[in-house]
Structure formats: structure tokens, C-alpha cells
Amino acid sequence: MKSLLEQTIVIIKEAGEKLRDSHAQVIQEKGDVANLVTDMDCKIQDFLVASLKKIRPDSHFLVEEEEQHLVHDDYLWIIDPIDGTTNYAYDYRHSAISIAFLHRKEVIMGVVYNPYTDELFHSIKGEGAFLNGQPMHVQDRPMESSLILCGTSPYHKHMVDTSFEILKTLFVRGRDLRRSGSAVLDLCYVACGRVDAFFEYRLSPWDFAAASLLIQEAGGLIECPNGVWGFEKAITIIAGNPNNIKELRAIVQEHTKA
């Protein structure tokens, strides 16, 4: 696994250079005004798939910019070529590349790279979580002291009332809210202790797969509070620490159904 990690890091950093040094030339909507895809999403995805196939020819791929999304029991890569595509399209410069490696539907390696800050988050199952090679850990603050990152579920605007009622409650019970536009970086920031919790009403597997391992290995918790955890479909995600997760879960469950 360490050799696989080292090779994956080389690949994701090369992809990151492509992202950092480029600007979107072609921007399209994927069935919704809030759901964008750029030419660079596709170019980076093609590069990652081709490169990772070379180091693990026996593996399968679950990638965002494809119509079919199958979760195999064998070795599987889950890839988001640009998490924060809207940020990228607007040159907001807060996006990341996310790669998770699974075996039997369990994440055993996660790598996330923000090329704008040159921050690399990585983890191998059972070996801890690291930011640029240094161990990272979640904070232990309770809900009333928690700084909470959130998503607004822009692809599910029909759920705006439920989603924003949850955000209102989190704002009242916590210290404050932040919204960045990149779910995987939000989750990485929980893992490294920059913030204390995260909530978004619906996230796709490529948005959270890699970061889910990072949070767990950093001593945190990540779960679907009103359904079944898995990588087959979009699910509600919360993440936090042992001191705030129970209240975070209860708040979300108050407003949603399975």
C-alpha cells in the first residue's frame, strides 16, 4: 500500500499542476444551472484514470463525469477530478482533486490535493491521517464551541427549506458557520482540526469517499444520519468529533427522514 500511495501522490500532484495552471475554456451545465462541468474536469479525469490503470490494471473506476456509476466489490478507485467545479469555473481558486481506493466497498486509501495551497491530505487504513506528511487530528470541541462547515446542496434545491432549517439550527447551537464550495476540502478541514464539524444534505460518493477515511484515521466520525452509509448513491453526510457528533446527528434527524 505504501508503494501504491507514493505512486498515487505523484499522479495527483501532476493532475494538480494542470488544474492550478489552467482556466476553464468550456463550461457546460449537467441538467441543472448549479451543476457545472468544464473541459478540465474531463481532461483531469481522463489523465487520472489512464495513470491509475497503469499502476493497478486489475482495478475498476467510479468517476463523476460518467453516466454509469457502479460500485464493484473488487479494487475500486473513486475519483473526483475537480471537487469545487463552480469555484474553478469562476476562478475562485478553492478546489481539490480527490482519489479514494477501495477493496470490498471499504476505503483503504484516501488522497486529496489542493494545488492552490499545495496541501496534500493522505491516509492508509490503520496508519493514521497526514497533512503534508505531518499527523493530523480532529479537535474535541463540543457543539456550542464548534465552527461548522456546510454545503447548501445546490443540486437539490427542492430541499432548500429542510436544508436551511438545519443550517439555522447549527448556526444557533454552534459557534458559527462557513461555506466554501468544496465538500472534500471541508471534510479534510474537519480531519486536520481547522473546523469542528460538517453537514450537507446530499453528497455524491466522489465528494466524500477519500475524506471519509481521513476523518476516521484522524479520530473523527463521519456518517449518514438518516439512511444507510455507502457509496452507491448520494447521501446526507455529517462529520465531527466524539464531543459534538451526537448533537449534530440529532439536529439533522429532527429535520429529515430516512
Task: Provide φ and ψ at 93, rounded to 5°.
Answer: 60, 45
| Nearest Cα to Cα of residue 129 among 187, 191, 189 | 191
Last residue of a domain, one of 135, 152, 184: 135
CA distance 8 to 2: 10
pLDDT at 6 over 90: yes
- Put simply, whether the predicted model's pTM sits higher than 0.85 gets the answer yes
- Residue 258 confidence class, pLDDT cut points 50, 70, 90: very low
Question: In angstroms, what CA-CA distances link 41 with 86, 135, 236?
Answer: 11, 30, 24
Residue 153 and residue 127 in one domain? no
Residue 6 and residue 128 in one domain? yes
pLDDT at 4 over 50: yes
Range of the domain at 89: 2-135
CATH, residue 211: 3.40.190.80
Residue 195 and residue 125 in one domain? no
Last residue of a domain, one of 135, 158, 179: 135
Report the number of distinct structural domains present in the chain.
2
- Residue 227 confidence class, pLDDT cut points 50, 70, 90: confident
Q: Which helix (H) or strand (E) holds 222?
A: strand 221-223
CATH, residue 91: 3.30.540.10
Region 149-155: mean pLDDT is: 88
pLDDT for the residue 26: 67
Which residue type does 12 have?
I
- Average pLDDT score over the chain: 92
Task: Name every residue whose Cβ is closer than 8 Å to that of residue 110 and which is 6 or more positions away in sequence.
Answer: 98, 99, 100, 101, 121, 122, 123, 209, 210, 211, 212, 213, 214
Helices (H) and strands (E) in the chain, counts: 7, 14
pLDDT for the residue 66: 63
CA distance 77 to 103: 9
CA distance 144 to 244: 9
Task: Name every residue whose Cβ is closer than 8 Å to that of residue 34 and which is 6 or more positions away in sequence.
Answer: 86, 154, 155, 157
Could you tell me if residue 74 is left (phi over 0), alpha (psi between -120 and 50 degrees) or otherwise beta? beta
Residue 41 and residue 60 in one domain? yes
CA distance 251 to 238: 10
Asked if 219 contacts 138 with a C-beta cutoff of 8 angstroms, the reply is yes
